[in-house]
Amino acid sequence: MKRQQPGDSIGELDEDGIAVWYPNCKVRFDGSNYIATPHTTNRARRRKHREQVIAVSIEDGKLSLEPPSRGEEKPPSTPKQMTVEEVAEAHENSPPESTDEPKRIIRHTTRKQIFDELYEKYLYLKPRERKQAILNDMRPLFENEDALKVFVDDNCLRRWRNLVVRRQRFARKAYNQHRKRKIHRDLPSWR
């Protein structure tokens, strides 16, 4: 068995005795030590994943999936600009709204956007309660119970992982700040 020499773990060295990867590394300070992370490249190409846009109706705070309308695959484009006169004329010609019927809003969105809205809504619940509340609210948007559970589990894991990585980044940024000595110029001199 070959015994490892002190310089073997850093890889190939150049003529000055510096590791080849060192000039391209990222250096951070964790409070007491400097840590160099070598630059790596991922040769795999990122696939573009497009979320399926669905029509969702919201009635009395409950979500329901709308069947796709014939001929309309994509959500409608942004509304055209109207002049003040056109808005006033449309308001005059429209019948008065009755307060008896509940308001029903139809919007085109993705399941991921709905999940993020519900996650923010139930953010201050305990994790199990939050997950159960999101499952209950999103149940009408899925035909299959297993697909619903997989979707919610994956997105809860995504949100948790994003939070952990954000906290790491904040801690590293804080440790990267060098402490400066405070110079008290306004204190009286005791000479």
Residue from 15, 35, 1, 13 nearest 175 by CA: 35
More confident site: 140 or 91 = 140
Residue from 80, 71, 77, 139 nearest 108 by CA: 77
6-20, 108-122, 148-162: which range is least confident on average? 6-20
Question: CA-to-CA distance for 175 and 168, rounded, in angstroms?
Answer: 11
Burial class (CB in 10 A: 0-12, 13-18, 19+), 56: buried
168-173 average pLDDT score: 85
- What is the value of pTM for the model shown? 0.60
User: Could you count the other beta carbons within 10 Å of the beta carbon of residue 103?
Assistant: 9
Return the domain boundaries, the chain: 13-40, 53-175
Beta strands 62-65; 34-37: pairing state: unpaired
Question: CA-to-CA distance for 146 and 105, rounded, in angstroms?
Answer: 28
Are residues 54 and 111 in contact, defined by beta-carbon separation less than 8 angstroms? yes
Q: What distance, in Å, lies between the first and last C-alpha atoms of the chain?
A: 69
Residue 137 scores a pLDDT above 90: yes
131-157 average pLDDT score: 94
Question: Which helix (H) or strand (E) segment is 59 a member of?
Answer: strand 53-59
Question: Which helix (H) or strand (E) segment is 92 a member of?
Answer: helix 84-93
- What average pLDDT does the structure give for the chain? 78
The model's pLDDT over 5-52, given as tens digits with 9 standing for 90+, comes to 555 566 777 888 777 777 788 887 777 788 888 877 778 888 888 888
Are residues 152 and 135 in contact, defined by beta-carbon separation less than 8 angstroms? yes
Q: At what angle do helices 127-138 and 145-176 cross, to 10 degrees?
A: 140
